Structure 1
């Protein structure tokens, strides 16, 4: 009799344990774990970024985009091979950086804020170094030496604005990759400013 009771007790304990295990694998349990805030493997880059990192990328993308627009004007308007070469190098450097920052924003789940050309940050002076619509129209209308001087002067201002934004990212940002890009922008664009100042001095 005792043996029968003992076996029955073991069977009951086993049933309880099996029930507990199966409850952990139930849809409701899985739903609860799915709703937890733990990041998915594809969003690991989201860890370690803050609002300043997001602002840096969201502002630097249109800032770089305007530099690309300015660079595209050069081949058909400039008469200086050095200016043409510089514009090409600026475009080749900044286009991949735009793609990189857009990738971060996608990973961070933020993206770019909805903007029209007229409402783009910087057109109203909200971002340092951005040219106004009138500035760009004057640049588009210029040719030859006049264009070169105007383009170099505007691009120096544009680069300085990017450097200021990058310095803010270095001091306030939290994402290591974003801060590394900020340092790269500072180093590259400061060197280009020095180069452009030299070209202005020769004209």
Structure 2
């Protein structure tokens, strides 16, 4: 029979591990799965059979609509950042716009890939400021606002760009909040992406508010 040294036994016991046995290939115990209780009710530890029966949530039509709408939402942000180079000499505005353009395009690729992986048609026919259900997308600039931004230059453009992009980002965060409020975002990939958008846009909003304050 295998033997354990005394010091080793003390270490094993101290760490709360399984003692040395004659079956070293035995499977390691798994962590318990806890099911959160409803408000006011206690949590419950599931049995191994119950835990094995749990299936990861799949995507829903809410997730599909969110991704499709967010693609068009990102498209306008990319259009806005494309205006920067010819309208300002501000280094911090240029750097901000460059970062946004890269991140929004990367996220757009992620969303298109998400839809393709699930066999969902990708509608790249442009946007009119409205969501799949016909309602207005939060934060989207109107044609008049876009025309005003395109016509501005210099310091006026800098301020208008920041104000417009803050509005746009806040709209994206609202779309994430509405996704969860409607019961979407339960699929792991959708949840991860939506939370990333919410976090990233929140950081950029704070930065733009600071830049706006610096410009009086």
TM-score calculated relative to the size of structure 1: 0.71
Whether the 8 Å contact between 2:73 and 2:140 is mirrored in structure 1 is yes
The structure 1 residue matched to 2:160, chosen from 131, 150, 160, is: 150
Aligned-residue offset at 1:120: 4.9
Residue of structure 2 in register with 1:141 after alignment: 151
CA offsets per residue over residues 117-146 of structure 1, 9 Å max, x none? Answer: 5x4526x86100001111111111100000
| Residue 70 (structure 1) aligned with residue 69 (structure 2) | no
Residue of structure 2 in register with 1:9 after alignment: none
Whether the 8 Å contact between 1:129 and 1:157 is mirrored in structure 2 is yes
| Residue 199 (structure 1) aligned with residue 211 (structure 2) | yes
C-alpha separation in 2, matches of 1:159 and 1:132: 15
The structure 2 residue matched to 1:188, chosen from 190, 200, 207, is: 200
Whether the 8 Å contact between 1:71 and 1:91 is mirrored in structure 2 is yes
Higher relative contact order (CA 8 A, sep 6+): 1
Give RMSD over aligned pairs.
1.9
Whether the 8 Å contact between 2:185 and 2:194 is mirrored in structure 1 is no
Whether the 8 Å contact between 2:130 and 2:137 is mirrored in structure 1 is yes
Aligned-residue offset at 1:168: 2.6
Whether the 8 Å contact between 1:131 and 1:154 is mirrored in structure 2 is yes
| Residue 51 (structure 1) aligned with residue 61 (structure 2) | yes
Structure 2 counterparts to residues 1-203 of structure 1, below 5 A: 48-113=58-123, 115=125, 117=127, 119-121=128-130, 126-171=136-181, 172-203=184-215
> Tell me, what secondary structure is at the counterpart of 1:194?
helix
Gaps of at least 5 residues in structure 1 are 1-46
> Tell me, what secondary structure is at the counterpart of 1:174?
coil
Distance verdict in 2 for CA 1:116–1:84, change over 3 Å: closer
Q: Determine which structure has more spread, i.e. the larger CA radius of gyration.
A: 1
Aligned-residue offset at 1:173: 2.0
Gaps of at least 5 residues in structure 2 are 1-56
C-alpha separation in 1, matches of 2:89 and 2:78: 19
Figure out how many residues of one structure are paired with residues of the other and give that number. 155
CA offsets per residue over residues 2-39 of structure 1, 9 Å max, x none? Answer: xxxxxxxxxxxxxxxxxxxxxxxxxxxxxxxxxxxxxx
Residue of structure 2 in register with 1:41 after alignment: none
